Amino acid sequence: MSEKILIFDSTLRDGAQAEGISFSVEDKMRVMETLDKIGVDYIEAGNPGSNPKDIEFFNRIKGLQLKHAKLVAFGSTRRGGISVEEDANLKAILETQTPAVAIFGKSWTFHITDIIKTTLEENLRMIEDTMAYLKAMGKEVTFDAEHFFDGYKADPVYAIEALLAAQAGGADCLALCDTNGGALPFEIAEIVKDVRKKLAIPLGIHCHNDSGMAVANSIMAVQAGVRQVQGTFLGYGERCGNANLASIIPNLQLKMGYHCLASEELLKLTSSAIRIAEISNYVLSGREPFVGKSAFAHKGGMHIDAVMKNPQSFEHIPPEAVGNERRILMSEVSGRSTIIQLINEVDPSLTKKSEETTRVMDRIKELEYQGYQFEGAESSVKLLILKELGKYKPFFTLEDFKTIGEQPHHKEALSSSAVVKINVDGQSEINAAEGDGPVNALDKALRKALEVFYPNIRDVRLTDFKVRVIDSKSATASKVRVLIESSDGQDIWSNVGVSTDIIEASLIALIDSIEYKLLNDMERQSDSR
């Protein structure tokens, strides 16, 4: 059996410290559920001594039994000059009743003398006392040696003494922290190897990404002997972020032979990344390794031809191994091979020479001449192919719409209203909505009308909206191309619309986006039967 690497996720604690991330208690509950389902070993849920939100969260989850993960409360060693029993932070940690705790302490002499302003001897006592106290209370304890690699470079003897103090106090694991994110992979490997010679208990690694090395440093640490890896699921964290577990896990498991997650859980890596990004109100980069929508996207004609012959030619792993998918992009540098790949997803019997293939290609060329660009908008291409092959039945018809925009003197932003009338299987529905501009109002009104027939539309939200003028010589009469990206928390897809009217172009893309969502859900239900 492959060797187990324990995955310690700090999205709810270290990740919450990232600029632009603000989890509500409900958000934290949903992230915790997602992490538990995918099978991480530890979920560091927050610092109960730092803010009311974390206290409320720990009260909500008190006594909760997760499917896989252990919940972890985070805090510091006791303060200098007081006993462990008197320390308010430790009391708050114990009140959470989590089975495991993570305690950070100083291992860099500079921080001890100049930041917390205590003696080197007292710092060692603070570490050992805290470990012994929490172990006596029945906790599994990880000691986070803060600034360990900087501390080791400044004074290796004292940095090791800090670890030995934690070991003497009974700590279960010693996590070596590259808190400033400045260490390089070869330094991590050398220092971890030296620490292993002097310590008798398991080691962990906690890296920040200030030098862009957090993933590489974590992997080098594992190769050098650590068996617990700390990070956040999408690299969220202060400054440049933390080590990205969504990259570390597949690298360790698929390329180095370690066991991090059950193989069936690794298949949920991409959907889990999308869900956590949605909860965090964070736009998941298409170029995110392993889980981004562009991670296995192919555009160049020669690349596409090679991938169709053998995917290994331009893919380092099979995309399905992490729950992602291969995407063949439509563009001016792709050809008939690209089209037939997409057509065969709808009708495997058709070939490059089929009359239907020619008809689809002609239609795409016609639309491109009108200003459409299908690169990155495969959802629109799929709908187009289905329509051209006569295999598509619309889920609804937009019978009429109207938008009204106004800017009262007492308001800073443009207020707009929209009314839409749709028809589903002969039944009409009229709905209205207000929004920040006509497109937003139309989007809201259309969804409200469709939710009457398709409640799953509630899960969809726009994650990106781009407008580009196509023929600028026509000035305000120019055609515009609107590209929207949507997500339902499980998938991400893009659609395109073109018109001389920006509202109509947006509406074309919006309708395609909703149609694609409904089609995707229908196909998913059919496959599950």
How far apart CA 21 and CA 242 sit, in angstroms, is 14
pLDDT value at position 529? 64
The answer on 382 and 407 residing in a single domain is: no
Q: Are residues 209 and 134 in the same domain?
A: yes
| Residue-level pLDDT at 321 | 97
Last residue of a domain, one of 412, 436, 453: 453
Judge if 416 and 383 occupy the same domain. Answer: no
In the DSSP assignment, the letter for residue 252 is I
Q: d(Cα 26, Cα 465) in Å, to the nearest integer?
A: 27
The reply to whether 377 falls in a domain is yes
Low-confidence ranges of the chain (pLDDT < 50): 332-333
Sheet order of strands, 461-469 included? 461-469, 480-487, 492-499
- CATH number of the domain within which 122 lies: 3.20.20.70
Supply the pLDDT for residue 63. 82
Joined together, the tokens standing for residue 302 give 């020669």
What residue type is assigned to position 402 of the chain?
K
3-class secondary structure, 462: strand
Question: In terms of domains, do 182 and 244 share one?
Answer: yes
Answer whether residue 16 is part of any domain. Answer: yes
Residues paired with residue 467 on neighbouring β-strands, in sequence order: 482
For the stretch 55-104, pLDDT in tens is: 999 999 998 889 999 999 999 999 999 999 999 999 999 999 999 999 99
Q: Give buried/exposed letters for 325-358 (b at 16+ CB in 10 A, else e).
A: ebbbbbbeebeebbbbbbbeebeeebeeeeebbe
CB-based contact 315:326 (threshold 8 Å): yes
Nearest residue to 503 (alpha-carbon basis) of 448, 457, 435: 435
3-state secondary structure of 492: strand
Same domain for 94 and 14, yes or no, is yes
Q: Nearest to residue 505, comparing CAs of 465, 474, 462, 457? A: 465
- Regarding whether 344 and 252 lie in a shared domain, the answer is no
Alpha carbon distance 508, 498 (integer Å): 8
Taking the C-alpha atoms of residue 260 and residue 253, their distance in angstroms, rounded to an integer, is 6
Same domain for 256 and 331, yes or no, is: no
Q: What is the DSSP letter of 477?
A: G
Q: Is residue 26 part of a domain?
A: yes
Token pair belonging to 346? 């709808």
Domain boundary among 388, 411, 435: 388
pTM above 0.85, yes or no: no
pLDDT of the residue at 450: 95
User: Looking at this protein, which amino acid is placed at residue 309?
Assistant: K
Q: Please count the CA atoms within 13 angstroms of the CA of 360 that sit on its side-chain side.
A: 33
- In a domain? residue 22: yes
Instruction: Copy the structure tokens of residue 19.
Output: 């600029």
The answer to whether residues 149 and 176 touch, using CB atoms and an 8 Å cutoff, is yes
Q: Which amino acid is at 520?
A: N
CA gap 492, 417 in Å, rounded: 28
Helix count (H) and strand count (E) of the chain?
Answer: 18, 16
Angle at Cα 460 formed by Cα 454 and Cα 464, nearest 5°? 145
- 213 and 348 in one domain? no
pLDDT at site 333: 47
pLDDT at position 411: 57
> Which pLDDT score, from 0 to 100, does residue 139 have?
98
- Alpha helix segments (H runs only) across 374-501: 378-388, 438-451
Structural domain includes residue 522: no
pLDDT at 364: 83
Q: How many domains does the chain have?
A: 3
Determine the Cα–Cα distance for residues 183 and 214; give it in Å rounded to an integer. 9
438-444 contact pairs (CB < 8 A, 24+):
438/403, 438/405, 438/503, 439/465, 439/502, 439/503, 439/506, 439/507, 439/510, 440/416, 441/403, 441/416, 441/417, 442/401, 442/403, 442/418, 442/503, 442/506, 442/507, 442/510, 443/510, 444/418
- The strand pairing partners of 401, in sequence order, are 420
pLDDT given for residue 207 in this prediction = 98
Coil/strand/helix, residue 243: coil
User: Is 96 in the same domain as 139?
Assistant: yes
Looking at the domain assignment, is residue 495 inside a domain? no
Interhelix angle 88-96/120-136, nearest 10 degrees: 30
The distance between the two most distant Cα atoms of the chain, rounded to a whole number of Å, is 85
Q: Please check whether residue 303 is in contact with residue 335, taking contact to mean a CB–CB distance below 8 angstroms.
A: no
Same domain, 131 and 231: yes
- Are the beta carbons of 414 and 436 closer than 8 angstroms? yes
Contact 203, 196 (CB under 8 A): yes
Residues forming a β-bridge with 486: 462, 493
Nearest-CA neighbor of 6 among 216, 188, 206?
206
Domain residue limits at 67: 6-261
Cα separations in angstroms, 513 against 82, 140, 153, 401, 495: 61, 48, 54, 17, 6
One domain, residues 405 and 347:
no
CATH number of domain containing 303: 4.10.430.20
Return the H-helix or E-strand segment holding 128: helix 120-136
Q: How many Å apart are CA 509 and CA 459, to the nearest integer? A: 18
The separation between CA 417 and the C-alpha centre of its own chain, rounded to angstroms, equals 34
Element (H, E) at 35: helix 25-38
371 shares a domain with 313: yes
Three-state DSSP class for 429?
strand
Q: Of 365, 388, 411, which residue constitutes the final position of a domain?
A: 388
Give domain status of residue 272, yes or no.
no
Which residues, in sequence order, are CB contacts of 391 under 8 Å at separation 6+? 346, 347
Does 240 fall in a domain? yes
Tokens of 117: 């302003």
